[in-house]
């Protein structure tokens, strides 16, 4: 019995030593990472503010004021940023599906309708630049000498996907256009396409709903692939947006710059020929 009590005492002593040692070790680690539990602001709000400063040029003093006004509550911060940055910045509610649901989600086609006229003219209604847009367009238009691309319902979308679709008609092209942000200008190249749809007469149908990257697509094909534009003047939206997560339920779109092509002003809309 005495031996058992002595063993228990030794065990208790070791437990106290381990706890004390861990406290001593953990404290300097937290300290070295700059944690101040009284002053530390929630990560989401701070991250959104930093994105707005870096991407959209939000002034740091104004960002601090927004943080304080909202007490660093993420939804409040996002909405205040959207108010300050103007019409192209919006807080958007999203469907918070699970990762598995997103992976299994149906990939919506980019081409809504396909028509063949007189055996040699192919018309596609390209409503969006989806994940497989370049493959859809290449498959639909391969082998046709005259192609008509209906962009009247295309309001833009992913810039990189649009560029890959444009490459099908243009081929590789250095310095095709410029992205101008608040702190830098970047020349953008058109990459080598998965398939080159050459020797084609290209007609693009545009409307007042045609916007953003769809407008840029129209100008790129007119300039570098001699496409003809018919229809109405487009919307005139040349803002490049970055979508930033706020939390699981909301996103905020931040103006990240504008795209420019020498001699063209997309902000006033694209005119048909």
Q: List, for residues 223-242, the tens digit of each pLDDT value.
A: 999 999 999 999 998 888 88
Res. 245 pLDDT band, cuts 50 70 90? very high
Is 80 exceeded by the pLDDT of residue 24? no
Q: Grade residue 34 by pLDDT with cuts at 50, 70 and 90.
A: very low
Dihedral Cα 7, 9, 12, 13, nearest 10 deg: -110
Q: Exposed, middle or buried by CB within 10 Å (0-12, 13-18, 19+), for 110?
A: buried
Instruction: Summarize pLDDT for 182-210 with one digit per residue, the tens.
Output: 888 889 999 999 999 987 899 999 999 99
Q: Which residues have C-beta within 8 Å of that of residue 228, sequence separation ≥ 6?
A: 201, 202, 203, 204, 222, 273
State how far the alpha carbon of 4 is from the alpha carbons of 8, 10, 89, 164, in Å.
6, 10, 71, 76
pLDDT score recorded for residue 78: 96
Average pLDDT over residues 85-104: 73
Q: Tens digit of pLDDT for each residue in 149-165?
A: 999 999 998 899 999 99
Angle in degrees, 0-180, between the axes of helices 60-69 and 43-56, rounded to the nearest 10 = 150
DSSP 59-94: -HHHHHHHHHHTTT-HHHHHHHHHHHH-TT--EEE-
Would you place residue 37 in the very low, low, confident or very high pLDDT band (cuts 50, 70, 90)? very low
* C-alpha radius of gyration, the chain, whole number: 28
Q: pLDDT category, 30, cuts 50, 70, 90?
A: very low
CB of 69 closer than 8 Å to CB of 45: no
> Domains (ranges, CATH) in the chain?
43-86 (no CATH), 103-241+256-268 (3.90.226.10)
Q: Does residue 75 have a pLDDT over 80? A: yes
pTM: 0.75
């Amino acid at each position: 019995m005495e031996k058992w009590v002595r063993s228990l005492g030794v065990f208790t002593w070791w437990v106290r030593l381990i706890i004390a040692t861990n406290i001593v070790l953990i404290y300097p680690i937290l300290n070295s990472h700059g944690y101040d539990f009284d002053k530390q602001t929630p990560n989401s709000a701070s991250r959104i503010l930093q994105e707005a400063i870096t991407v959209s040029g939000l002034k740091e003093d104004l960002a601090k004021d927004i943080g304080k006004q909202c007490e660093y509550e993420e939804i409040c911060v996002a909405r205040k940023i959207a108010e300050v940055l103007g019409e192209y910045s919006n807080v958007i509610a999203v469907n918070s599906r699970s990762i598995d649901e997103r992976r299994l989600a149906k990939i919506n086609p980019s081409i809504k309708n396909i028509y063949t006229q007189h055996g040699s003219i192919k018309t596609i209604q390209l409503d969006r630049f989806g994940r497989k847009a370049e493959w859809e367009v290449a498959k639909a238009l391969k082998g046709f000498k005259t192609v008509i691309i209906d962009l009247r319902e295309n309001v833009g979308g992913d810039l990189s996907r649009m560029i890959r679709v444009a490459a099908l008609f243009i081929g590789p092209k250095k310095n095709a256009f410029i992205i101008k942000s608040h702190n830098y200008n970047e020349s953008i190249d058109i990459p080598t396409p998965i398939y080159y749809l050459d020797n084609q007469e290209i007609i693009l149908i545009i409307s007042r709903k045609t916007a953003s990257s769809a407008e840029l697509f129209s100008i790129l094909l007119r300039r570098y692939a001699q496409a003809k534009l018919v229809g109405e003047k487009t919307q005139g939206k040349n803002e490049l947006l970055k979508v930033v997560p706020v939390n699981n339920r909301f996103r905020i779109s931040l103006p990240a710059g504008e795209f420019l092509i020498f001699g063209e002003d997309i902000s006033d809309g694209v005119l048909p020929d």
